[in-house]
Amino acid sequence: MVIFIIMLVSVSAIAWILSRNWRVERQRNKIRAQAFPKAWRQILKQRFPYFNAMPADLQLQLKQHIQVFVSEKNFVGCKGLIIDDEIKVTIAAQACLLLLNRKTDYYPKLTEILVYPSIFVVEHPEQIGQIVSSQPKVLSGESWQNGKVILSWQTTQDNAAHPFEGNNVVIHEFAHQLDQENGKANGAPILNRVEDYQSWSKVLADEYAMLVLAAQHQTPSLFSYYGATNPAEFFAVISEVFFEKPHAFFKQHPALYRELSHFYKLNPIHWH
């Protein structure tokens, strides 16, 4: 009798999860089927020139992702910043680049995007021996594992306006969100297939070691030295460059470019 009840509860739980997933997807399909607001098209034109370089099919896909993202995520203005459609669409457009051509649940852990007018200060506890102290840091973006991304609106605007410089705080922080879908960010997001991890680990480890050496000796690198901080930051940094400087990326780091192209299911070399 007890076994029967347990089985019944388990079946009911599975049925509820499947039903919920179906309801969520049905709602998303309704949102994606809606006409993209004219005012939002103007925002993309003014704030996100990268959009114009994309193929038409990916432009359509991105607009549909933007609609779902804006509908599902909560934007919170900090330090007096008033959230409007310009902020939502500009951030969503860049965040959703990372979702194109991939089966996605729209950053399932993410619930809130906190937006500051400009760079902001956070305090992180740091333990040295038995002493714990808070170290203030000035940041333009941060990704938390508990469902929050924090962004500087000024930095977001600047990066969006100059889309081919290889620096993009939104791409960086949302790459962390992908990395955090399976736990703590470690530079190994959920890949397409189990067999992909072997190649991913080898190529990224080799390239990460090269960037660490470049940072130590201050030799030129396509990637920001910040990527040498740890593998998680390395993945976020190379994601920025993958989308914004694909030609230089492929020329200088072809094996690494292929890994990201396979992961993101995109080849931005052909966009611009």
Query: Helices (DSSP H) in 82-151: which residue ranges?
Result: 85-96
DSSP letters along 203-234, please? HHHHHHHHHHHHHHHT---SS-GGGGS-HHHH
Q: How far apart (Å, rounded) are the C-alpha atoms in residues 122 and 135? A: 8
Q: What is the pTM of this model?
A: 0.88
3-state helix, strand, coil in the chain (%, to 5): 60, 15, 25
- Tens digit of pLDDT at every position of the chain (272 positions): 556 555 444 544 454 445 668 899 999 999 999 999 999 999 999 999 999 999 999 999 999 999 999 999 999 999 999 999 999 999 999 999 999 999 999 999 999 999 999 977 776 655 445 554 456 676 778 888 888 999 999 999 999 999 999 999 999 999 999 999 988 899 999 999 999 999 999 999 999 999 999 999 999 999 999 999 999 999 999 999 999 999 999 999 999 999 999 999 999 998 86
Name the residue among 116, 110, 196 with its Cα closest to residue 154. Answer: 116
Q: How far apart (Å, rounded) are the C-alpha atoms in residues 201 and 271? A: 28
Longest dimension (CA), the chain: 70
8 A C-beta contact, residue 36 and residue 67: yes
Domains delineated in the chain:
33-168 (1.10.472.150), 186-272 (3.40.390.10)
According to DSSP, residue 238 is labeled H
According to DSSP, residue 99 is labeled G
